[in-house]
Amino acid sequence: MSVRRSEWWVALLGGLILAFLFVYNRQPYTVYALHWLGMERANAPLRSWEEYFVVNTALLLWLPVLVLAFIGKGELSHYGLARGDGARGALFAFLMYAPMVVVLWFASARADFQHYYPLDKRILTDTAYAIYFELAYGYYLFCWEFFFRGFLTFGLYRWIGWWGVGLQAVAFGLMHLGKPIPEVIGSFVAGVILSAVALRVKSFLPCFWTHWAVSMTLDLMLIYRTRF
């Protein structure tokens, strides 16, 4: 029981991070303009992709890691940053990814997905930039998966059991608002499945590999449809 009580801070820190990113990510202005807080400012500058990456990755990965380092609430492996059961994790990653290939092919033909993705349209015509973007976005997704399937999943599960997994899945789904509707709906289910896998293999890494592979596959399909 004491272990569970000790994890309340995960919900507090995670909630604060999610609240900030929910507001910041759903608007186009730079973080220092404060325009996204509703404070009017003439000619507020727009944020760049680089700023978006820095702000999100700093909050999703580095802030939780630093808090863990300073308050001493356990090793990073206690929050899924570990190899875990590598063989079983690889199997689960394949089983999650394989059926998504068919889903992604049909999704890439939909107007709503073609309008929203790829997130940076330059990758449709610039191969060198596409490689850079996919690698950079892989780092972003690593931070994303550490936060949801590592930090939140393991911390909240120890505190309140499967209710914590459910809360994580709801938060994960809400962060998808604004994306194509099928993806928003699917994200709530995916949040539960990915967390179950992470807990089973004691690592969020299979979830990261799956998420990154799905993202790259969709982008490649969109590039193919654009060029051919």
Predicted confidence (pLDDT) per residue in 23-48, tens digit: 999 989 998 887 777 776 678 889 99
pTM: 0.94
Structural domain harbouring 20: 2-227
Nearest to 17 by CA among 155, 207, 201: 155
Number of separate domains in the chain: 1
Those residues whose C-beta lies under 8 Å from the C-beta of residue 106, and which sit 6 or more positions away, are none
What pLDDT does residue 48 have?
92
pLDDT of residue 73: 63
Predicted local distance difference test score (pLDDT) of residue 2: 40
The whole-angstrom distance between residue 125's C-alpha and the CA centroid of its chain comes to: 26
Handedness of CA 17, 165, 211, 138 (dihedral sign): positive
Neighbours of 105 (CB within 10 A): 14
The DSSP bridge partners found for residue 177 are 179
Distance, in Å, from the CA atom of 134 to the CA atom of 123, rounded to the nearest integer, reads 9
What type of residue sits at position 176? Answer: H
Name the residue with tokens 């179950």: 196
- Low pLDDT (below 70) residues in the chain: 1-5, 40-41, 72-74
| Angstrom distance (rounded) from CA 165 to CA 199 | 10
Q: DSSP class of residue 26? A: T
* CA 39 – CA 42 distance, rounded (Å): 10
- Residue 1 three-state SS: coil
The two tokens of residue 213 are: 């592979």
pLDDT in the model for residue 106: 98
pLDDT at 4: 55
- Cβ burial, residue 120 (10 Å; 0-12/13-18/19+): middle
Enter the tokens of residue 16: 């604060």
